[in-house]
Amino acid sequence: MKLSSTPVKAVCILFLIALCTLSLSGSFDKVADENLDGALAATGAIYATARGINALVSVLQGTELDLPFVTLTIGEVLDPVNDLIERFSTVVLFALGAVAAQKVLLLLVSSEIFNYIFTGIAVLTGLGLISQNSRALTPLVKIFLVAVFVRFALGIVVIANTWVDSVFLQSAEEKHHSAMQVFEGDLRSVKALATQGADYSKARESAQKNIENLKLSIEASKENHRVKVKELGVARSNLEQQLGKEDIACRLSAKTPKTPVLSPSCSGTTKSLFQNQRLHAKEKTNIEEVIDEFEDALKQQRDKLICINKRSQGKACSFLDHIPKPPSTSSIQNKLEGLDNKLDDFTKNAWLLLTSVLLKSVAIPLLFFYALLKCTGLIWRSDFEKSPG
């Protein structure tokens, strides 16, 4: 590859300047960092669900219900789940660590010191191009090539991986995760039925603890909601400022309710700010739904505590509730049969979800990294002072 011609030199110098600007501005790293934050949040949610199921299985495995005419051992039904969910949690934790490691490495290669080193190498390479020093040019270009790879490879891999995830994996992953959450809810229902016949003091203590935990959860969620409202306000303000620079078609498309996409005339900055606002709005709505669920659960726990106190005094909770009754045998049996019927689906969803997590956190990033490494190697083996012929 011959670099001595003036047009090629000009293009190369412009390329050096562009890369230095991109490195020093931090905009590229910001996009990659936001993508990693999203991956951490998604993987963390899956891990939390897995740990929740694991905790419920651990509690329920040793539960034996002595009901009229029947003895039920819940652990027998949940034995297949126990080993699977423990291994699932371990692998997801590994994937979570892989994403966290990428975030740390991105922080290192985007640091101020590394940016200065990268800029210095770029300046030396540019001087080599201008001076026409053929002996120094090839090693300088190769050193700069290594610096470019180290500086930008991880960010490119992260952004490319996020694109693959959003196009091919995300929808299926959300579906499988939702199925696991439903299974977790079924386990909680079984647990609730299994503990209905517990002694009043334990039931009262449990209800009080749940109330306190729900209060803390509501308080934390409301604080999170306040933060999210502020972030949404900032996002809207930034978008409004940017829209002032756009044409009428772009502004109308941005202000149309439930607009899935903006007008093609909108700039990339506007589109990014628009998506950022939608993301904050969605997160705010999700938090509000969580708060409503917590408040409903809190009301239920308070009603339950009132009922426990009445029953402990020999009083009925309502005019239809004359004596405390043990949990219904048929209801628990139906729940256990339902769980048993869902085990195959649970196993399938767990494996598919695990495969998706490993692909996007380990396999696909390594594949992109390998492809970049091979491309860099091809350029490295080039002689920049020889003509192709």
Contact 157, 369 (CB under 8 A): yes
CA 67/CA 51 separation, integer angstroms: 30
Q: Are 43 and 361 in contact (CB under 8 A)?
A: yes
Could you tell me the two tokens for 56?
């419920």
Q: Find residue 103's DSSP bridge partners.
A: none
Question: Which spans in the chain are helix H?
Answer: 6-25, 27-61, 74-109, 112-131, 134-164, 170-194, 200-243, 248-255, 268-312, 329-358, 364-380
Task: Give one word for 68, left, alpha or beta, with left for phi > 0 and alpha for psi -120 to 50.
Answer: beta
In order along its 389 residues, the chain shows pLDDT tens digits of 555 566 777 888 898 999 999 999 989 999 999 999 999 999 999 999 999 999 888 888 766 655 444 455 666 777 778 888 999 999 999 999 999 999 999 999 999 999 999 999 999 988 888 886 667 778 888 889 889 988 999 999 999 999 999 998 889 999 999 999 998 888 888 777 766 554 555 777 788 888 999 889 889 888 888 888 898 888 888 888 887 887 888 878 777 766 567 778 788 888 888 888 888 888 888 988 988 998 898 898 888 888 877 765 556 676 555 444 555 556 666 777 777 778 888 889 999 999 999 998 999 999 988 888 888 888 777 655 544 43
The pLDDT score that the predictor gives to residue 116 is: 93
- 29: region left, alpha or beta (phi > 0 left; psi from -120 to 50 alpha): alpha
Whole-model pTM: value is 0.60
- Residue 296, number of CB atoms within 10 A of its CB: 11
Per-residue model confidence (pLDDT) at position 138: 80
pLDDT of residue 68: 46
